[in-house]
Amino acid sequence: AIELGVADAIDANGDPMTLAELSSKLGCQPSPLHRLMRFLVQRRVFGEKRDEAGQVGYVLTPISSRLLKSDDTKVAPILFQNDPDMLLPMHVLSAHLRGDKRLPFEIVHGTEEWTYMDAHPLQRELLNNAMAANARPVVPAVVDGCPGLFEGVGTVVDVGGGNGTAMRTLVEACPWVKAINFDLPQVVAGAPECNGVVHVGGDMFAAIPKADVVFIKWVLHDWSDESCIKILKKCKEAIPEEKGKVIIVDTVITEEVEEEGLRDVRLMLDIMMLAHTPGRERTEAEWKNIFTKAGFRTYTIKPIRALQSVIEVFP
């Protein structure tokens, strides 16, 4: 439905859209389109309503209102995770659980995910768009949910910042901050220019640019504990020992079963990590373990209005 632009067509139409109108607009055959829409109406993704002439037409619901291509904060992650190449590792998860030492992603693609992305521009673009889409609502949630987090901070380096969306969003909210968007050279090469943001290419396992604060969002969950410890040690080297800190924006899984809330989605993401990367979504105890081994003194965790929490780690 997203690929066809069903929600966009109905939104642009304004009034309830009949099957014939929708079929004509999308260039789809009426019969299979009817079967698709019948299913999606049943699932309350779309609704049905009679127009002024008494004909039944399709309308948006709160769910499909979030599937408009114009709002890529919702759509881009869906398109990435449902790309056929990204779904394939799920089909060999059992082999990994039975003892195949290779990650499911490696079993189906012959290499680990980041090497694969370098050779597949389409999937790399889908990933970058998904990460940028996540950054647009999450960075304001970080700023709003943690007042004073960036007060007195001169420079921030975003480790694994992709095309720089997170730092552009941060500078808009905190214009006194000078931001460095740090990622692999081939990633930052295509990043758009932005006032207050400098793009720097490099390897986070080798060295991270110096700054008052290291910001690292949804990166560590991709890596094993051993790799996270190496990355965090490099983060520690990049900040002042007395006033510096590392701000991690990542998932924290609670131990309690929740009837409602976001734990279900966080656990779903952990299964995706199991299929794609050597990483995992971590509990507080698991986070504490890697912080201690990386040589950090203390940390705090603050939930925000997002899947992720804000973790401040101090040397």
Determine which one of 96, 199, 221, 276 is catalytic: 221
Active site residue 221: yes
| Structural domains of the chain, ranges and CATH numbers in brackets | 6-69 (1.10.10.10), 72-314 (3.40.50.150)
* Rounded Cα gap, residues 62 and 204, in angstroms: 41
C-beta of residue 7 within 8 angstroms of C-beta of residue 65: yes
User: What is the chain's pLDDT, residue by residue, as a tens digit (315 residues)?
Assistant: 988 999 999 999 988 999 999 999 999 999 999 999 999 999 999 999 987 788 899 999 999 988 888 776 678 888 898 899 999 999 999 999 999 999 999 999 999 999 999 899 999 888 988 888 888 899 999 999 999 999 999 999 999 999 999 999 999 999 999 999 999 999 999 899 999 999 999 999 999 999 999 999 999 999 999 999 999 999 999 999 999 999 999 999 998 877 667 899 999 999 999 999 999 999 999 999 999 999 999 999 999 999 999 999 999
* CA distances in angstroms from 115 to 67, 108, 111, 203, listed in the order given: 31, 14, 7, 14
Beta-sheet pairing, 309-314 with 298-303: antiparallel
* Rounded Cα gap, residues 205 and 103, in angstroms: 21
Q: What is the DSSP letter of 308?
A: S
Q: Is 199 helix (H, G, I), strand (E, B) or coil?
A: strand
* Rounded Cα gap, residues 49 and 44, in angstroms: 13
